[in-house]
Structure 1
Amino acid sequence: MYSSQLEKRKRALVFGDFNIDLLKKDKYITDYVVEVKESGYEILNKINPDYCTRETSKTKTIIDHISTNINNHTFSLSIIESSLSDHKHLYLEVGKEAPRRNSKINYTAIDYDTLYNNVLKTIDKIENDYSSLENCIILNINNSKIRKRKTLNPPQKDWINKNIIDAINTRNYLWKEMKRNKNDEELKKLFRKERDKVQVMIKTCKENYYQKLFQDTQKQPKKMWDVINTLAANKIKNSPAPPKLVSDSKK
């Protein structure tokens, strides 16, 4: 039952008081650890009495666990002494994943200024027949081709509307003009104003969009979790390779 719940979570951190002492060698402890690993998770606790999560005058136990199936991240787990509870606090720091860069493609395009000039140079050589015209056009097109590189942008988000796109285009235009006229202070002010405007528009539209989604799915738990998973980028089930634990210290 527990493993089936784990396998449903595509990118997850699971933590809490499991009341299962990882320091013991009992069969049910071993079965629990195997079940977690077979579900594609790695237990981040360091299995060592020095890193126990509950300690009395006579016993040391690790009954508070953290496990994850998230890859391509680094994790730093620390044990913090606490006077508020008979359990120690677990402090987990998750390293930030490097942002994915948009892929790029090379393609062939026509430089229309070059094409126009080439046609002007050869137009007098065209004879009074269709084949001569066709050959001239094909030749000039081939001589006017250039190689270009294009960034493939991800699909447009549902919350992006025409006003945001227009504002982004205006901001990008001002950016290019500002780069051409680096000493134009008035242009810099216009760009900063438009940049700040775009940031506010994006933040407001995104918040309103997801707030409405949560309101509309209040009585539909499955759809609400779909929204949460979308916000958490929780879409692709990762391979079961273990995550990286860069440090494991006691505080």
Structure 2
Amino acid sequence: MVSKFFDFVLSPFAEMSPYAGLSLISVVTGVVMVFLYSWTTDQKKLKEIRDKIKIHFLEVRLFKEDMAEMFTIQREIIKENLNYLRYTFKSAVVLILPILFIVIDLNARYSFYPIRPGDSFVVAAVAQDQNSLARIELILPQGLSMDVSSMRIPEEKRVSWQIHAGSSGIYNLIFHQGEKQYMHNAVISSRIQRIYPDMKTEKEWISRLTSNAGLLPSDSPIQMIHIEYPKQESFLGLQPGWLYFFFLISMIAGLAVKKMMNLA
């Protein structure tokens, strides 16, 4: 549901810089999170705690030469900070879930670029064992062609192919292993789209959570299928760039709205 909503909202930005659509989502996320925070916290109580902490910091300046009093004040500051965390804990739990779903979807959109029409790319499969490796074959759909035939690395139980992309589209790559076959989609486009480079087995719980590309059976002779997409650029030298940008912009937007609403 989150993915389809973002598909609709971000479609006007699909041919722009990745940071155009990401800026919109970041600002909206920051604002919405602040409203959720205000609805799920006791603002009156939090403001009382905040005011007490401010008073204790003023006392630190007044009694800085009285060590006994300083220890008492510092103990009170710690106690009030723990109270603050206790009253905001429920809100933090409520906010984590939507943030998690948003980050998972944005990761699929902004970690990689689609393969552009006319470019070449590498497809790889990792086998369960060397016997399985020898029997893996790749069948290409019309619109894709093979630049380099299969290269097998028995030590890594890995086979790879270099593919040439034709026109834009989503292409089904079919991997045969004996009588079994598995499919993974290759996205050829100049527009920003959701990208799932890896297709892994069901036994990897993180794959269940993050992949919409489908999963390989846990007993599959092919343990992973990988399509090598171009990586998105870093942000201020940091990777993944989109993630740092998202949190920075959403925090700035959130703090601005929080200040306007005078929230604790």
Greater Rg over alpha carbons, structure: 1
TM bucket by the smaller chain?
Answer: under 0.3
Normalising by structure 1, report the TM-score: 0.27
Q: Which has the higher helix share?
A: 2
